[in-house]
Amino acid sequence: MGKSAFLEQVRCELRTRQYSLRTEKTYLFWIRNFIRFNEKRHPSEMGNAEIERFLSYLAVRRQVSAATQNLALCAIVFMYRHLLNREIADLNYSYTRTPKNLPTVLGADEVAAILGQMRGKIRLITSLLYGCGLRIQEALMLRVKDIDLSGRSVFVFRGKGSKDRYTLLPASLVPSLQWQIEQVRQLHQEDLRLGHGLTSVPASLFRKYQGTLKDFAWQYLFPSTTRCVHPHDGYVCRHHLHPSAYTKQLRKAVIASGVAKRVTAHTFRHSFATRLLQLGTDIRTVQELLGHTDLRTTEIYTHVLGNRRAGTTSPLDALPAGIAEDLPGYQPQHSGDSELALLNRHCA
């Protein structure tokens, strides 16, 4: 089924429209499942009834999330629109509303506790997520040329929505980044010695930049431990570290740290934005650093902060200090403890 002529046509259409490799794999997965669910009938022989039955199966029997249901529907709509030239109309099924949950954020002590359980490049990646507000894919796709150590900035090429942007680079990460860049240099020199040295790029960029893909500046900051064959263009190259490799190490660090929150790679980006707003950074600046097109996306962090209630004191905090001291587990607050001091204390 994976090598069927129809699915190869879908793959070709996705590549022609320059969809990412991740989207290509996901769409093919759901289209393949849709066809198998309907006893391998050709999609041209099916219509709304078969689509509705498949989506109901996912929701009721498989109990997939709202986001997964929407993704499956997107894949099917793409197939009918671009491969069969049919618009799916009057479908007795609409895109499921995804719950809008406030993001989980970490305090400085919690970030420090997690970092304290990490070593090497995994710790450096996490520091970039929290210190620069990067998405995990953006961090893993950084190349040597994207790091400006003297200018203290990081260039994010084609972030979410294919938007380029610059974000700040913490001065405390400069020595670690210099060390990591030297590790990349040594690995690249070994690849060149063995007759390799090409880095991977999106298919749309290969012809344009293939003459420079052996240059050190184009190498990934966090390269994979092995070389691979490029899935589109067939050349032997070194890709970046896979997100799953980072996720496994993050999970171990969170458990070891004792932080009792659901922490993902994206949690550090949320924490970056929230902390900047706490420090009084203008929301437009935060929007620019995060790469948000719509300010309303950034404003969710003001809800996390309770910023709309700024200046309001809880009645409990207005009670005499002796009352609070009698509460279980009372700890006096040390206003002089800076965030940097907390990080240094936990990470020493």
45-84 pLDDT per residue, tens: 999 999 999 999 998 999 988 889 999 999 999 999 999 9
- pLDDT number for residue 101: 74
238, 269, 270, 275: which is the annotated catalytic residue?
Answer: 269
- pLDDT number for residue 92: 79
- pLDDT number for residue 324: 53
State yes or no: is 269 an active-site residue. Answer: yes
Share of the chain above pLDDT 70, in %: 84
Helix residue ranges per DSSP H, 195-264: 203-209, 243-257
| Closest to 159 measured CA to CA, from 177, 193, 182, 136 | 136
240, 275, 292, 346: which is the annotated catalytic residue?
Answer: 292
| Closest to 83 measured CA to CA, from 3, 8, 2, 4 | 8
Higher-confidence residue of 246 and 212: namely 246
pLDDT over threshold 50, residue 267: yes
- pLDDT number for residue 156: 93
Indicate yes or no: pTM above 0.95: no
121, 123, 135, 238: which is the annotated catalytic residue?
Answer: 135
27, 130, 246, 301: which is the annotated catalytic residue?
Answer: 301
Residue 11 contacts residue 24 (beta carbons within 8 Å): yes
CA 343 to chain centroid: 24
State yes or no: is 158 an active-site residue. Answer: no
Share of the chain above pLDDT 90, in %: 57
| Closest to 24 measured CA to CA, from 36, 10, 37 | 10
Residue 177 contacts residue 149 (beta carbons within 8 Å): yes
Written as six digits, the tokens of 6 are 């129809």
At residue 202 the predicted structure's pLDDT band, cuts being 50, 70 and 90, is confident
State yes or no: is 160 an active-site residue. Answer: yes
Greatest CA span in the chain, whole angstroms? 77
Residue 118 contacts residue 253 (beta carbons within 8 Å): yes
| Closest to 347 measured CA to CA, from 153, 174, 108, 137 | 108
State yes or no: is 42 an active-site residue. Answer: no
Give the chain's end-to-end CA distance (angstroms, integer). Answer: 54
Pairing of strands 228-229, 165-168: unpaired
Residue 215 contacts residue 196 (beta carbons within 8 Å): no
Strands in 153-156's sheet, in edge-to-edge order, are: 147-148, 153-156, 165-168
Written as six digits, the tokens of 274 are 């929230």
- pLDDT number for residue 310: 44
pLDDT tens, position by position, 122-149: 999 999 999 999 999 999 999 999 999 9
Domains, the chain, ranges and CATH?
5-83 (1.10.150.130), 142-239 (no CATH)
Helix (H) / strand (E) element for 30: namely helix 21-37
The pair phi, psi for residue 155, each rounded to 5°, is -95, 125
In 235-320, at which residue ranges do the beta strands (DSSP E only) sit? 236-237
160, 242, 284, 345: which is the annotated catalytic residue?
Answer: 160
CB atoms within 10 A of CB 263: 21
Average pLDDT, the chain: 85
State yes or no: is 97 an active-site residue. Answer: no
- pLDDT number for residue 17: 87
